[in-house]
């Protein structure tokens, strides 16, 4: 069931956030004042002031859309967040939990007891329940399941049976189906019997007795059609439909390509199982980009901005550890040339330049390839062609920037040959960066892994160790 809540623009939302924050701040001050004057004789502050202030906070929250409350909760530090959560209408706990980020959801669920949780999520639809289920205590899920009727329980189990990156996990079961042999007039009369059409209903699904999808009737078409026209004549049959096992991202890209609002999900026999809606697909696109950014930065998952320090440490731990290993390896490469550095200490100052530029250039290449792979625009057969192109780019960059920095090294240390080694090392390391930048993500893809994962750390490891090896190696060969 959807209720129409007040919607507000970004400015107004920021105002609301500010107001909630100041009410919470005032609450803390008032409570502090009242508790201090309990002992005093003549209270300067009305002992009921904190109560009134809380009521004001409760009223403010009651006016807000659940998505806006979710946004505000995410922006509040933990203790303030829990106070606001307490003041929000319990009847809206479910919708709010659906909207908040995973990290914040955890912090809210943690402070709720089983009874509150069951009450909060009991009214949600199967697909919504399925979204929350992984974060809920198992007991709560069982209890809620027990209260569902057989059809809903079946739907919930179906949704839960798919991995959360599959279409099946995002299926929505609230949809309108009709038969092909009726007229548009009949459809309009049938629709009028609903109290409300499901959200994002831009099309009605046409099925036969066995539930096979025969076509879709777009509402836009229905509204302009002759009432006497048969559905079979007005409906479209060439529409994209999805299988529950398909990747959710592929479905989201199809929504983007064809500007879809909703689309049917069918099983392998063509039986209509449910539908996908654009709001869920927007979330998929957002999550895909988010995880790309987070993976590049070496964060395991989206973080609660105000997470306890230890939670943040855990989220960042693994990538730092990997980075430490690769940095240690690079350090051992340098260690192998300590003798050379002792003879020509300028090498120590120049080597990070070679490694750094290689890392930057490699990250440029790998970012491009990762996106092309994710969008399905690059086929493995094209690897060779792209590699040659990237190699061309790296040779030009290496010659140009290598010459600049080589000239600077020559001026600084008065050695032409040191400048030439610098130029050669820069060019070779950029070529290594281009090669690894193409190879790492395509290999990852071939191995069935997410090509974004760890790409940045791996390429930096290659260009660091490789850069030190190339530069110090060349220097040892030609300068000493």
What residues from 271 to 290 belong to the interface with a copy of itself (CB under 8 A)?
Answer: 277-279, 281-283, 285-286, 289-290
Among 371, 415, 439, 443, binds a copy of itself (CB under 8 A): 371
| Contact present, 182 and 208 (Cβ < 8 Å) | no
Check binding of 75 to a copy of itself (CB under 8 A): yes
Among 29, 37, 116, 312, binds a copy of itself (CB under 8 A): 312
What HEC string does the chain produce?
A: CCCCCCCCCHHHHHHHHHHHHHHHHHHHHHHHHHHHHCCCCCCCCCCCHHHHHHHHHHHHHHCCCHHHHHHHHHHCCHHHHHHHHHHCCHHHHHHHHHHCCHHHHHHHHHCCCHHHHHHHHCCCCHHHHHHHHHHCCHHHHHHHHHHCCHHHHHHHHHHHCCCCCEHHHHCECCCCEECCCCEHHHHHHHHHCCCCCCCCCCEEEEECCCCEEEEEEEHHHHHHCCCCCEHHHHCECCCCCECCCCEHHHHHHHHHHHCCCEEEEECCCCEEEEEEEHHHHHHHHHHHHHHHHHHHHCCCCCCCCCCCHHHHHHHHHHHHHHHHHHHHHHHHHHHHCHHHHHHCCHHHHHHHHHHHHHHHHHHHHHHHHHHHHHCCCCCHHHHHHHHHHHHHHHHHHHHHHHHHHHHHHHHHHCCHHHHHHHHHHHHHHHHHHHHHHHHHHHHHHHCCCCCCCCHHHHHHHHHHHHHHHHHHHHHHHHHC
Q: Which is nearer to a copy of itself, 144 or 167 (CB)?
A: 167
Check binding of 306 to a copy of itself (CB under 8 A): yes
Mark the segment that binds a copy of itself (CB under 8 A) among 106-114, 115-123, 206-214, 389-397. Answer: 389-397
Among 133, 145, 239, 479, binds a copy of itself (CB under 8 A): 239
Residues 136-175: x/- map of binding to a copy of itself (CB under 8 A)? ----------------------------------------
Smallest separation (angstroms) from a copy of itself to the CB of 28: 14
Smallest separation (angstroms) from a copy of itself to the CB of 151: 22
Q: Which is nearer to a copy of itself, 34 or 458 (CB)?
A: 458
Check binding of 105 to a copy of itself (CB under 8 A): no
Check binding of 129 to a copy of itself (CB under 8 A): no
Distances (CA, A) of 472 to 424, 464, 476: 11, 12, 6
Residues 173-192: x/- map of binding to a copy of itself (CB under 8 A)? ---------------x--xx
Helix axes 383-413, 416-446, angle to 10 degrees: 150
Among 98, 112, 121, 253, binds a copy of itself (CB under 8 A): 253
- Name which of 116, 8, 131 is nearest 72 in CA terms: 8
Check binding of 103 to a copy of itself (CB under 8 A): no
Among 85, 205, 255, 387, binds a copy of itself (CB under 8 A): 255
Smallest separation (angstroms) from a copy of itself to the CB of 153: 26
Mark the segment that binds a copy of itself (CB under 8 A) among 31-39, 112-120, 121-129, 313-321. Answer: 313-321
Check binding of 379 to a copy of itself (CB under 8 A): yes
Q: Token digits for 230?
A: 């048969």
Q: Which is nearer to a copy of itself, 38 or 196 (CB)?
A: 196
| Contact present, 433 and 369 (Cβ < 8 Å) | no
Check binding of 377 to a copy of itself (CB under 8 A): yes
Residues 196-225: x/- map of binding to a copy of itself (CB under 8 A)? xx-xxxx----------------xxx-xxx
Among 81, 93, 292, 470, binds a copy of itself (CB under 8 A): 292
Check binding of 246 to a copy of itself (CB under 8 A): yes
Check binding of 62 to a copy of itself (CB under 8 A): no
Distance of CA 460 to the CA centre of its chain: 24
Q: Which of the residues 328 through 347 are near a copy of itself (CB under 8 A)?
A: 328, 330-332, 334-335, 338, 341-342, 345-347
Check binding of 111 to a copy of itself (CB under 8 A): no
Check binding of 367 to a copy of itself (CB under 8 A): yes
Check binding of 415 to a copy of itself (CB under 8 A): no
Mark the segment that binds a copy of itself (CB under 8 A) among 17-25, 107-115, 128-136, 442-450. Answer: 17-25
Smallest separation (angstroms) from a copy of itself to the CB of 392: 4
């Amino acid at each position: 069931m959807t209720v129409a809540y007040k919607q507000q623009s970004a400015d107004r939302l920021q105002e609301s956030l500010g107001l909630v924050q100041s009410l919470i701040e005032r609450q803390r001050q008032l409570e502090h004042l009242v508790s201090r004057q309990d002992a005093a004789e003549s209270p300067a502050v009305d002992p009921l002031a904190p109560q009134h202030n809380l009521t004001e906070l409760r009223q403010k929250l009651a006016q807000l859309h659940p998505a806006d409350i979710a946004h505000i909760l995410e922006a509040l530090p933990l203790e303030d967040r829990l106070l606001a959560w307490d003041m929000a209408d319990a009847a809206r706990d479910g919708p709010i939990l659906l909207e908040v980020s995973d990290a914040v959801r955890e912090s809210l669920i943690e402070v709720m007891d089983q009874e509150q949780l069951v009450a909060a999520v009991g009214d949600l639809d199967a697909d919504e329940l399925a979204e929350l289920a992984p974060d809920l205590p198992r007991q709560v899920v069982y209890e809620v399941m027990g209260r569902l009727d057989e059809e809903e329980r079946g739907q919930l189990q179906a949704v839960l049976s798919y991995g959360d990156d599959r279409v099946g996990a995002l299926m929505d079961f609230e949809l309108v189906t009709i038969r092909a042999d009726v007229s548009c007039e009949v459809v309009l009369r049938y629709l009028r019997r609903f109290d409300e059409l499901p959200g994002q209903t831009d099309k009605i699904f046409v099925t036969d007795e066995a539930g096979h999808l025969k076509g879709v009737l777009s509402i836009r078409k229905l509204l302009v059609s002759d009432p006497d026209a048969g559905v079979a004549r007005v409906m479209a049959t060439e529409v994209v439909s999805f299988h529950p096992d398909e990747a959710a991202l592929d479905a989201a890209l199809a929504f983007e390509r064809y500007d879809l609002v909703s689309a049917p999900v069918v099983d392998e026999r063509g039986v209509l199982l449910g539908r996908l809606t654009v709001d869920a697909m927007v979330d998929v696109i957002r999550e895909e980009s988010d995880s790309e950014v987070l993976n590049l930065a070496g964060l395991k998952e989206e973080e609660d901005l105000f997470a306890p320090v230890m939670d943040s440490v855990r989220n960042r731990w693994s990538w730092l550890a990997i980075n430490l290993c690769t940095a240690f390896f690079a350090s051992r490469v340098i260690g192998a040339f300590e003798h050379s550095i002792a003879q020509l200490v300028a090498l120590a100052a120049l080597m990070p330049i070679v490694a750094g530029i290689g890392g930057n250039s490699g990250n440029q290449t790998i970012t491009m390839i990762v996106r092309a792979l994710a969008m399905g625009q690059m086929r493995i057969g094209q690897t060779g062609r792209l590699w040659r192109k990237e190699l061309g780019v790296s040779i030009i960059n290496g010659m140009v920037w290598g010459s600049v920095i080589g000239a600077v090294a020559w001026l600084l240390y008065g050695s032409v040959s040191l400048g030439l080694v610098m130029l050669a090392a820069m060019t070779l390391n950029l070529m290594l960066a281009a090669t690894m930048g193409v190879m790492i993500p395509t290999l990852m893809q071939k191995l069935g892994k997410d090509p974004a994962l760890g790409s940045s750390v791996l390429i930096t490891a290659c260009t660091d160790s490789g850069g030190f090896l190339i530069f110090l190696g060349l220097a040892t060969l030609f300068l000493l």
